[in-house]
Amino acid sequence: MKRFEMRVDPITQEVYYEVPLKGRTLLNDPLLNKGHVFSAQERYEFGLIGLIPDTYGTLEEQVDRNYTLICSRPTDLEKYVTLMGLRDRNETVYYALLTQHVEEMLPIVYTPTVGLACLKMSHIIRRYRGLYVSPGNINHIEKMLLNPGMPNVGLIVVTDGERILGYGDLGVDGMGIPIGKTALYIAAAGIHPSATLPICIDVGTNNERLLNDPLYIGIRQPRITGDAYYDVIERFVQGVRSVFPRALLQWEDFGKDHAFTLLERYHDRILSFNDDIQGTGTVAASALHTAMQIAGKPFSEQRICIVGFGQAGSGVANAIATMMQTEEGLSLSEARRRIFAVDINGLLLEGDQVEPYQKDFLQPREVIANWPTPKNRAPNMAEVVRHGKITTMIGLSAQPETFNEPLLRDLFKNTDRPFVFALSNPTSQCEATPELVMRVTNGRALMATGSPFAPVKTTDGHEIHISQCNNLYVFPGMGLGAICCQARRVTHSMFYAASRAISNMVTAEERAKGLLLPELKDIRRVCFEVALAVAKQARADGTGMIATDERLAEIIRAAMWEPHYYPYRYGRP
């Protein structure tokens, strides 16, 4: 049964919800509950008289009350639990609070706190949200997708919990990630809560801690692999295409063995993208573009070292190569030669046995022929920086202190404006702290991090702000734009358009402070500009709606929901 339908009064043009629920059932529905903001007519019509105080409040009062409660919690994890409790009671208040305090609440509802929450999810979960799909129930997928009772789901975020942030395999406890991502789609891009659906595909876990935890809520077996795994995914995609044929599917935190395969396999079959691969690359390329504008240096002078060349690292490399091609006309091979991919065994070289997604960025062995390094092994990261004359360091290694002082000093010798992107999450996994980077480079570095850091004061009292290279700049606007323009697929050029749109929004004042990305307080405006750029590019690619720029902007603005209460009218089931 659908929990409500959005209607328009044909006479008054009032937009309202037709709701089939009454009494405590209505009060217990977090999507529809208004608390003591229900009007007198609604209290009478829906059997609420006496079930709530006989006074009338406002949404603003509800936000203030809950904000005060959250601020009183002593730790970020307790704030997270309190926020989830609010979301389970009243989603409108939750999103209004999130929207009004986005910079403050972002580290709570998403990285880094969401990672801590996922580590303890089976112990702190109070109410199930979204859908839990497993090999045991996958054949009922069409019925399951209808069970939430949403009128029209347009966005699905799905994970199998294998690669959760920097923590690895967390099984079904990884559900905290798609729940957090859908919250950000709603708060940042204004996608209506009823149009979003977080999903966890529980195929087991190889995490012994979870398998031995008596409170673990997931399937207690090793992960299924091979054809059995892909059969579950295929059946899942079939169900989504059948029930919600126009929905966008975001693949989230899948392991490297599956992420690229799924992205490639379903790219043309369902509107979808992988934020870890494509979103991370897009926002990093955007920050790099801004950094080069500040430094006044072209791409052709950059020699870039990416440390940690998994799915995110390859996504960053491909995004930068695309920008080099488009911005300065470099050939694809020329662009790739300027990117040095370093993994656990050192620099990736031609002839190495590597993953398919790494092959395009193998350096020719003649590049290192004259380096004074041992020839029986690949050059390590420090040797690459020193002898490869690296000017830009990008870290996705999930190894803290990877960018140590000696390495940063060598980097600073290669260029007077080094670019340092320490992008691993959470904060404890960051490759270098901003304090260290700015001290070693005398405040000359242009830096971005994966998690939020406070501004750094230089010895002369100048304050340098550190941009958080957060995928929030990309994925909500990408999803909003793709949905609004009714795109048939997400293309690489749509991500490039998003990257340029983000960089173009950084003002001269923000650049003067060291910021490489717009301030997060402007995230709603960022999402609108990204969505519009994406819709225009989809039109140019022949995969999206044919409409004028003005019409696309009008559609996107109309789709961006602001948290507020709609009037209700009773409708029988």
What are the catalytic residues?
Answer: 110, 181
φ/ψ (deg, to 5) at 323: -65, -40
**183 vs 475: CA distance, rounded Å:** 12
Q: How far is CA 156 from CA 191, 193, 235, in A?
A: 12, 11, 15
**399 vs 307: CA distance, rounded Å:** 10
Tokens of 572: 């029988």
Q: How far is CA 82 from CA 59, 105, 560, in A?
A: 18, 12, 26
Q: Is-contact 390 304, C-beta < 8 A?
A: yes
The secondary structure of residue 140, as a DSSP letter, is G
Q: H or E element: which one contains 157?
A: strand 155-159
Q: Is-contact 543 489, C-beta < 8 A?
A: yes
**527 vs 481: CA distance, rounded Å:** 9
DSSP annotation string for 149-188: --S---EEEEE-SSSBTTTB--GGGGGHHHHHHHHHHHHH
**533 vs 499: CA distance, rounded Å:** 9
Q: Is-contact 474 498, C-beta < 8 A?
A: yes
Tokens of 257: 């063995």
Ramachandran quadrant class, 8 (left: phi over 0; alpha: psi -120 to 50; beta: rest): beta
DSSP annotation string for 196-209: EEEEEE------HH
User: By CB neighbour count within 10 A (0-12 exposed, 13-18 middle, 19+ buried), where does 327 fall?
Assistant: middle
φ/ψ (deg, to 5) at 199: -135, 140
Number of neighbouring beta carbons within 10 Å of residue 561: 16
| The pairing of beta strand 339-343 with beta strand 304-307 | parallel
Largest Cα–Cα distance in the chain? 84
State which amino acid sits at residue 19.
Answer: V
Q: Which residues touch 34 (CB under 8 Å, ≥6 apart)?
A: 42, 90, 92, 565
